Chains A and B, each alone.
Chain A
Amino acid sequence: MRTGEVTIYIGGVYASGQPMVVKTLLGSCIAVCLHDAVRGVGGMNHFMLPGGNGDGDDAGRFGVHAMDLLIGAIMKAGGDRRRLIAKVFGGANVLDVQGPVVDVPRQNVEFIRTFLKEEEIPVVSADVGGRYARHVHFHTQDGRAFVKRVRRVHAVRAEEQARAAPAVKYGEITLFE
């Protein structure tokens, strides 16, 4: 059977219990791949914390949400969060000079490391930081991930920003009769 493919962009989440290849292209953003080897269920998200506006609480909240969506999607596809392992990619630095600016890529990487530690999800591999964009291919069934570093990080980052949602959106509240 031919393995299906799906490409995700910033804000995207995909998980499947079928053999699929999830692809994404990362600049400063982070992609986390989670895999349950027993069930052969895997998934990936692609997100960026909205850093730099001074509201650290909100930034954390939306990073947690990106992970919550991915873990939820994996569980719906038949995975068990207690067996998950993680692979983490992205967080490229695009600034040529290190100055007193908010280092959003580093904040993203630190956020995800702290989150995964708190949730007791082991990180089995990571390729983060640096000054290159990354193509990531993740195989949902066996959990293999392939990373290809590409040089045009500024172009990739511009694309990420162009696709980013203009504002973070909170969920709806419904009270039943």
Chain B
Amino acid sequence: MPATILVVEDSKTVRALIRAALLADDYRVVEAPGAREALTALEDTPVDLVITDVNMPDIDGLTFTRTLRARSRERSTPILVLTTEDGEAMKQRGREAGATGWLVKPFRPDQLRDTVRRVLGARA
């Protein structure tokens, strides 16, 4: 069965770019425009990997990451942060929040797929 990936990103256009990149590798993609919607989606659908933005309305991506790490089901689910934030301090905050990786936008579709494959492979 293909792995399920949750994409949390407030921009519809960016979500579509991420989805297109992932579907080329036959993943099952669940999308959410924000952390709140993502948490609702997670109630019904367990996922193998989460890709999240940082700057989003209501709940930012780092708070969302900490929330997932405090839950039993997503405690060890890989979380890749995909963000325009390229500063070292923010990256460290991501690490402390429990992120698995930090990817700075803009992303290359093949590099995103490679990273996803690597992270899912390391877990299997």
Which residues of the partner chain B approach A173 to less than 8 Å between Cβ atoms?
101-104, 111, 115
Q: A68-B11, A175-B118 are in contact. List 17 more A-B contacts (CB 8 A).
A: A61-B17, A64-B14, A68-B14, A72-B54, A72-B84, A72-B85, A118-B13, A119-B12, A170-B107, A170-B111, A171-B103, A171-B105, A172-B103, A174-B91, A174-B103, A176-B99, A176-B101
Cβ of A144 within 8 Å of any chain B Cβ, yes or no, is no
Cβ of A9 within 8 Å of any chain B Cβ, yes or no, is no
A74's closest neighbor in chain B, by CB? B55
Distance from B106 Cβ to chain A, minimum over Cβ atoms (Å): 4
A64's closest neighbor in chain B, by CB? B13
Distance from B7 Cβ to chain A, minimum over Cβ atoms (Å): 14
The complex places the Cα of A68 from the Cα of B104 at a distance, in Å, of 12
Contact indicator B57/A75 (Cβ below 8 Å): yes
Which residues of the partner chain A approach B67 to less than 8 Å between Cβ atoms?
none
Distance from A85 Cβ to chain B, minimum over Cβ atoms (Å): 16
The complex places the Cα of A173 from the Cα of B91 at a distance, in Å, of 11
Which residues of the partner chain B approach A119 to less than 8 Å between Cβ atoms?
11-13
Cβ of A103 within 8 Å of any chain B Cβ, yes or no, is no
Question: What is the interface residue range for chain B against chain A?
Answer: 20 to 34
Q: Which of B13, B54, B101, B107 contacts A175 (CB 8 A)?
A: B101
Cβ of B86 within 8 Å of any chain A Cβ, yes or no, is yes
The complex places the Cα of A172 from the Cα of B11 at a distance, in Å, of 21
Contact indicator B11/A71 (Cβ below 8 Å): yes
Cβ of A69 within 8 Å of any chain B Cβ, yes or no, is yes
Contact indicator A64/B100 (Cβ below 8 Å): no
Distance from B63 Cβ to chain A, minimum over Cβ atoms (Å): 14
A-B contact pairs, 17 of them (CB 8 A): A64-B17, A64-B106, A68-B11, A68-B105, A72-B55, A72-B85, A75-B55, A75-B57, A81-B10, A171-B106, A172-B86, A173-B104, A174-B101, A174-B103, A175-B100, A176-B95, A176-B102
